[in-house]
Chains A and B, each alone.
Chain A
Amino acid sequence: MTESAEMSDRISIIVPTGMLGGGVSRAQVQYGLRRGASAIAVDSGSTDSGPAYLARGVSKMNRESIKRDLQILMAEAHRAKIPLLVGTCGTSGTDSGVDWTRDIVLEVATELSIGPKIVCLYSEQKADELIRKNSRGEITPLPPLGPISDADLKSCEHIVALMGPEPYIAALQAGADIVLGGRTTDTAVLAAVPLMRGAGVAQAWHAAKIAECGGLCTVNPSLGGVLMHVGRDAFEIEPLDIDNQCSPETLSAHLLYENSDPFTLTEPGGVLDASDAEYRWVDNRITRVTGSRWTPKPYTMKLEGARGGDFQTIMFIGIEDPEVLANLDEFHDLMQKTLTGRIRKTFGDEAVRFDVSLRIYGWNGTSGRPVPRGTVPPRDVGVMFVVTAPTQDLANRMAKACNPYFFHTPLRPGIEMPSYAFPFTPAEIPRGQVYEFVLNHVVHTSDAFELVRSVSVDPARANKGALDA
């Protein structure tokens, strides 16, 4: 096969940033359009920052940064008459995250005086429906978790299923200009248009996997997004900045990032195998990849669920007292015993469930593990106190009860009462709820649409409705 035949019928997709709200460049988007892009696709979600966003159904990114990026992307997509796809709206892809993003999109549409056809894709799931599927053996655990119980499913604040590309393709084929998706695999939203337009299936998924974090697969990730060119038997990744490069090493190394397996990637409806992929320079900015493989599998969607648990209150002190610094492990254990005892004594039966955790930053706060023998004492440490209890009120009261002891406990009896350095007043900071991921399971579905709801939004009517209200 000739070099150009590999890339025949190429479909080009602008990936302007790894995460909507991260800051997109109009000049870069326009560069991608001049290079023949037929869609803009961007991910708006992540589980990296922890379960709080899914459990609460709120966005990690603030509204203003999402709106600023959408202003640029919507204006450029409209001008070029190409679609804009956004995956995992609102960080966790709950229904509320899709609606929140939709409202920003409608606001921007009004400001730009445009009337794009918008389709919202929802993939949040009701516990009862999943309990039924579970009873039919249609939910399978992924390691390290085991089978899921009905109680666990019911305990989740939100459960989302990760969509594949098919609902996006259906929305585009029905004429959508903007598709706003709930939880979607990072790759599916980028692969959708190449797959719809007949590009190589393995090539589309592999390109999307590399481009999913925007410029992170480039030599200089601070220089913005990338462009995917997907052909029938090869794909190319090109940086959107003329001074940046996508090298064979940066592209192949990106498969390592945040993946437990760098070669095989399970997606809805199949598995990508990149173990025989070859990465070669096209010129000094662009790298071409061949040898990707795709094996179709029965359709599955990964599930994510999160729930709220107990509540925490924190306090923080600084210590420069050399006596304490020379005996930090002893100090930690003494403080742990003193504060735990204080809570037991003060709260009695009310303290059925609580946890006090002390982290000495500057010594072993990050790991909590023993420090090697003979380690030189630091000059300064910060000690964080974290109390966890069933309600915020109880956690606050426990912290208040501990306050004078956390402040004044001497290293040994007989030492004059010390006062450690509080940086804040009041010293106790209610931190909020502890959230927990619950699910690491896949659900087997009859097709890509069984658990997905698609809703068309007419901007004229939606904005009129907003005005009437």
Chain B
Amino acid sequence: MPKLSDICRHVRSKNAGPFWVTVDLFFDGEENFRRYHDTPALSPQVFARLFGTNPDLVRRIPVDNLHVVKISYPRPHPQGWMQERDMHAGQQFARLLDLEVD
């Protein structure tokens, strides 16, 4: 099974307002987008496990013309809380790269 980093040309994460994080998966070509855009490897439960977020609020939006899947999830703690390690959530994507997709 390929890893997410094998089928995406770029993966990024960023804060979207103080309470949400948004992840953009730029798939490498239309074929990979079609085949993997709804992979269960990116389910809300996986996001709950990796990010401690509420799976009921995770949103996944495919953007066909850009071969992008956007996944947005609420931060488990508000931005800037006392144990904050990633104020802009810009490094959160890294823990997705090794996910095996099918």
Contacts and interface: CB of A to CB of B under 8 A. Distances in A.
A48 B15 contact: yes
B80 A260 contact: no
A263 B61 CA distance: 9
A368 B85 contact: yes
Interface string B16-56: 11111010100000000000000000000000000000100
A369 B96 CA distance: 13
A304 B80 CA distance: 15
Contact of B66 (A252, A259, A355, A434): A252
B4 interface: no
26 contacts: A52-B80, A143-B74, A144-B19, A144-B57, A145-B19, A249-B66, A256-B22, A259-B22, A261-B72, A262-B68, A309-B82, A357-B82, A357-B83, A359-B85, A366-B85, A366-B86, A366-B91, A367-B94, A367-B95, A368-B83, A368-B85, A386-B82, A434-B80, A434-B82, A437-B19, A437-B78
By Cβ-Cβ distance, the 4 closest A-B pairs, closest first, are A260-B72, A144-B74, A437-B18, A50-B80
Interface in A425-469: 434-437, 440
Given A368-B85, A369-B95, A256 B66 contact: yes
Given A49-B87, A143-B74, A367-B91, A259 B16 contact: yes
B17 A256 contact: no
Interface of A: 47-52, 143-145, 249, 252-253, 256-263, 304, 309-310, 312, 355, 357, 359, 365-369, 386, 388, 434-437, 440
A263 B59 CA distance: 13
Nearest to A142: B19
B20 A51 contact: no
B20 A260 contact: yes
Contacts of B66: 249, 252-253, 256
Contacts, number: 98
Contacts of A249: 66
Contact of A257 (B14, B20, B78): B14
Contacts of B74: 143-144
A394 to B, nearest CB: 14
Given A262-B61, A262-B70, 5 more contacts: A49-B88, A51-B79, A51-B80, A365-B85, A440-B18
Given A261-B72, A367-B94, A252 B65 contact: yes
Nearest to B75: A144
A355 B95 contact: no
**Which of B16, B80, B87 counts the most chain A CB atoms within 10 A?**
B80
B7 to A, nearest CB: 18
Given A365-B85, A367-B95, A261 B80 contact: no
A50 B19 CA distance: 11
A367 to B, nearest CB: 6
B68 A256 contact: yes
A113 B22 CA distance: 47
B22 to A, nearest CB: 5
A436 B14 contact: no
Contacts of A435: 80
Given A48-B88, A434-B82, A436-B80, A258 B16 contact: yes
A78 B41 CA distance: 57
A262 B63 contact: yes
A367 B15 CA distance: 15
B54 A261 contact: no
Contacts of B19: 144-145, 437, 440
A464 to B, nearest CB: 42
A145 B75 CA distance: 11
Contacts of A309: 82
Contacts of B80: 50-52, 434-437
A168 B59 CA distance: 34
Contact of A436 (B65, B78, B94): B78
Nearest to B54: A144
Contacts of B59: 260-261
Nearest to A367: B95
Given A144-B57, A259-B22, A434 B15 contact: no
A259 B14 CA distance: 9
Contacts of A304: 18
Q: Which of B14, B79, B95 has the largest number of chain A CB atoms within 10 A?
A: B79
A67 B84 CA distance: 33
Nearest to B80: A50
B53 to A, nearest CB: 9
A239 B27 CA distance: 27
Nearest to A279: B65
A249 B16 CA distance: 21
B88 A256 contact: no
A437 B79 contact: yes
A257 B21 CA distance: 11
B73 to A, nearest CB: 9
B82 A256 contact: no
A31 B89 CA distance: 36
Nearest to A368: B85
Contact of B82 (A47, A257, A310, A359): A310
